[in-house]
C-alpha cells in the first residue's frame, strides 16, 4: 500500500542526510592550529610592544604650565 505521507517523510529525511553530509566540517588541521596560535602570539607581542612605547611617550609629555 502506498502511503504519501511516509514517502514524503522518507524523501525529506534523505535530503536532510545528504545536506548534512555536504556541509560536514571535519575541523582544522593540526598545522592550521599551529599557524593560528603562532600568529596570535606574534600579534599579542606586537600590541604589547606598541602599548609600552605609547605609554612611555604619554608619560614623557610635560603638562606643567609655563
CA 28, chain centre distance (Å): 11
Q: What is the mean pLDDT of residues 6-24?
A: 88
> What confidence category does residue 48 fall into, taking pLDDT thresholds of 50, 70 and 90?
very high
The reported pLDDT for the residue numbered 24 is 72
Cα 41 from Cα 39, distance rounded (Å): 5
Please tell me what DSSP assigns to residue 27: -
Cα 28 from Cα 35, distance rounded (Å): 11
Whole-model pTM: value is 0.53
Cα→Cα distances 62→8, 24, 59, Å:
78, 60, 8
Length of the chain equals: 66
Question: Is residue 57's pLDDT more than 90?
Answer: yes
Asked which of 1-5, 35-39, 40-44, 51-55 is least confident by mean pLDDT, the reply is 1-5
Q: What is the mean pLDDT of residues 1-15?
A: 87
Amino acid at each position: 500500500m502506498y502511503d504519501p505521507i511516509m514517502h514524503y517523510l522518507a524523501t525529506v529525511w534523505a535530503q536532510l542526510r545528504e545536506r548534512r553530509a555536504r556541509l560536514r566540517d571535519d575541523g582544522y588541521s593540526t598545522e592550521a592550529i599551529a599557524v593560528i596560535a603562532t600568529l596570535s602570539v606574534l600579534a599579542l607581542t606586537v600590541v604589547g610592544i606598541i602599548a609600552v612605547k605609547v605609554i612611555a611617550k604619554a608619560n614623557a609629555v610635560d603638562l606643567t604650565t609655563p
